[in-house]
Structure 1
């Protein structure tokens, strides 16, 4: 056979070149996701007024341990306990581990798959009993590697990576929410215990008033209706104290559930400051500033910087990037897939002794021809999820900005009420002292005394609430800002 050479052009090379060009051009099934600027407010409508209790020369507070700026012994003990043993935080961490495992599984698709098959058999023909049995053994190695022409594997890995980033942001948000809830509950319990102590002092004062009223009634110097009024006021105060005690128990139980510590240890942490009251605290509401942790002075970063670091915004941005990669994966599933495979097999027979080996190597092309519209539906679904993620990101930015605005408004309100409620409590205390002295001297009625006492109780509750709200507003601001956007004033100077 003679082989003839010709100078005619090889026409089959042109389609092959066009096919290669088409494959190379089709590698980019989806543009790479680039984080775009989100609509962040240029300035806050509520100016950030530093806390009046902040002290100059404070050291910068690490965003991870923001609660240490409060210098509260109970918070410093209970927050680490909650971080060490909390079911909600454990679930968030487990989701991070799950996302990491998915990423590792997706990344493994980039590597070749090597598989070994072993087999052994004992064979004998039933029609030939004299024929000796035959033993057979097989050994095979198979290699399979997908050539990622259209980026299906690459975008699948990117999607899993973005999901992992989102789960990390979710875990950060869960950690921040847990620490803020512990600090908020500790402050609520401190305020509740202090209000309970105020009610105890009020009950003691009412008991003295009732005793004096009964003596005046026995001497004929007071009407029976005044004694009944004093008894009713004492009973109402005792009822209020019982209700307040139930509220305090609720806060204690919440801390037990959050931290995993027993109620006795939580109560021991809370009892110290309340039980250490001294005679120097003439006005009880003023003493509330001593037992409530003081918020440090702060300065907020720019709104865009603040929102860009917010865990909820970071999670939404990562989900958007993952949705973009998901579109690329869905599109790549509709395109041809090229797998490179290799196999090596051997078989050994024992009686008679024979052996056979073989190998193969070559690419395999898989082209989807008809799927009933499933591929197009998957692409449409991924595009819808991308639009959903886009809307979720916009919503996360708006919610974060709204929470910051509300937290700043609460902080300003609490700061203003610190002064007004203190003035009201001082005036109410002076009025009550004067009215009580007049009543003891017989120059005033019990009705006027009880009215003055009610005004004092209301002023005391308002003053305690203002101090508590001032500290809790700072915690709410930390939570709204995502933790890190708050800078101590000394750090910015």
Structure 2
């Protein structure tokens, strides 16, 4: 016995013109300036920006961080998950087919009856409402966002490693400067003590000199704490436990890395093309636009085509003597829901407006970071000249005050004040050198200069939403 039944809804013929229209991205209205307001530093090298420091130790640390940092690893995992979800959304546009099989034995009053059946069951959604296409576009945008976030993590980690390395070097230089300052103050204390023992100075002078020396020595612990913090931060950034990272000693341990000519920055428009967080905000905007399309699809009719094929029989000897095939069409017509669907569309459009604002804000923040870094570079360079002049004058003043003190023509207060001015100026110049290096780091991080891996590649080659 072979039976076949077909159920086909005639209203499906009315759906030919119901294909959804994709929701277009709103006009971003981002018009970046043609150039930065501040002057750009000279550019003389291509490649990754941190190599302009000409510090092999820093190069090795950044390479290790980009390969082993756990935040980057987490971003890579989320990128893989987003790619899998995109494949899943695309698969929903294909027919689904499942199979089943069963066998039975009925026993009663000395007789038995066996039976078996097998079947295939499937459904197909022709996507008349456009929902599946919108869901694919949303998943593709989220995949692109995950890739851009991964690229942005690489940008942030490279900058963080460079900044912590500068701090590590700064604290090393501070320790040497502290040693020089304490030696200078010990010499003054010896002179004052000899004058006191010779009856040429009061005991008050000895106590003042000793107090200045103790105050300087008290800074040792604070510098060691800061140095340990920088070393531990570097260890975490390269994926190691704090205290286990061995940082190679550079050729000049106590100096701040000097930035040379790095790669060209380009103009502000490059922020829209190269900065991972700005590109991620743009991808979120695309996902929000796709979500509007998803909600709009609920306002249109949808059609699902189910079907099945079953073969079997009531007895084992007559297995597969029966065949049953069905094909149907289930039409869903939205009629009345109290305004819920349209409210959901309105909510999606509001989220789209919010995503647009966030995209613009991301660009403005990136532009602000770059402009601030450019101003800082100019200011710190100018300040370095003034501090160098202050050091030179303080050294001269200290020498003169020491000579006058020995002759009894100046007080110990004049000597100690000259010492403090010299120590302060030296520390300020050291801090200024570190701040200048950090300004270059901030500039290239803000401008998203090439880091050895193109943003498109970092995004996993994410395709445009389809």
Superposed, which structure 2 residues align to 1:395-406 within 5 Å? 395-406=361-372
TM-score, normalisation: structure 2:
0.87
1:203 matches 2:182: yes
Assess if the C-alpha contact under 8 Å between 1:109 and 1:153 holds in 2.
yes
- Aligned counterpart, 1:45: 37
Assess if the C-alpha contact under 8 Å between 1:29 and 1:331 holds in 2.
no
- CA drift at 1:190: 0.8
Q: Residues 462, 46 of structure 1: CA spacing in aligned structure 2 closer, same or farther, 3 A cutoff? A: same
Q: Residues 67, 428 of structure 1: CA spacing in aligned structure 2 closer, same or farther, 3 A cutoff? A: same
Instruction: Map Cα deviations across residues 57-100 of structure 1 (whole Å, 9 max, x no partner).
Output: x4412xxx332232212211222222233232222222212211
Deviates more, 1:309-318 or 1:436-445: 436-445
- CA drift at 1:37: 4.4
Assess if the C-alpha contact under 8 Å between 1:150 and 1:335 holds in 2.
yes
Assess if the C-alpha contact under 8 Å between 1:159 and 1:325 holds in 2.
yes
The alignment partner of 1:32 has SS state of coil
- Aligned counterpart, 1:344: 309
Segments of structure 2 that go 5 or more residues without pairing to the other structure are: 1-9, 453-466
- Aligned counterpart, 1:93: 76
1:163 matches 2:142: yes
The alignment partner of 2:252 has SS state of helix
Assess if the C-alpha contact under 8 Å between 1:82 and 1:259 holds in 2.
yes
User: CA RMSD for the aligned pairs?
Assistant: 2.6
Q: Residues 231, 75 of structure 1: CA spacing in aligned structure 2 closer, same or farther, 3 A cutoff? A: same
- Aligned counterpart, 1:114: 97
TM-score, normalisation: structure 1:
0.83
The alignment partner of 1:300 has SS state of coil
- Aligned counterpart, 1:225: 204
- CA drift at 1:377: 2.7
- Aligned counterpart, 1:459: 425
Write the distance in 1 (CA, Å) between the matches of 2:301 and 2:448: 45
Q: Residues 262, 428 of structure 1: CA spacing in aligned structure 2 closer, same or farther, 3 A cutoff? A: farther
Write the distance in 1 (CA, Å) between the matches of 2:406 and 2:231: 41
Instruction: Map Cα deviations across residues 310-360 of structure 1 (whole Å, 9 max, x no partner).
Output: 222211111111111111111112322222333110123436746422112
Write the distance in 2 (CA, Å) between the matches of 1:368 and 1:318: 31
Deviates more, 1:243-252 or 1:353-362: 353-362
Q: Residues 329, 241 of structure 1: CA spacing in aligned structure 2 closer, same or farther, 3 A cutoff? A: same
- Aligned counterpart, 1:305: 270
- CA drift at 1:270: 4.7
* Structure 2 counterpart of 1:102, from 71, 85, 92: 85
Assess if the C-alpha contact under 8 Å between 1:307 and 1:401 holds in 2.
no
Segments of structure 1 that go 5 or more residues without pairing to the other structure are: 1-15, 276-287, 487-493
* Structure 2 counterpart of 1:242, from 205, 221, 237: 221
1:124 matches 2:98: no
- CA drift at 1:369: 3.3
Assess if the C-alpha contact under 8 Å between 1:301 and 1:485 holds in 2.
no
Provide runs of 4+ in structure 1 moved above 6 Å.
none
Write the distance in 2 (CA, Å) between the matches of 1:119 and 1:19: 34
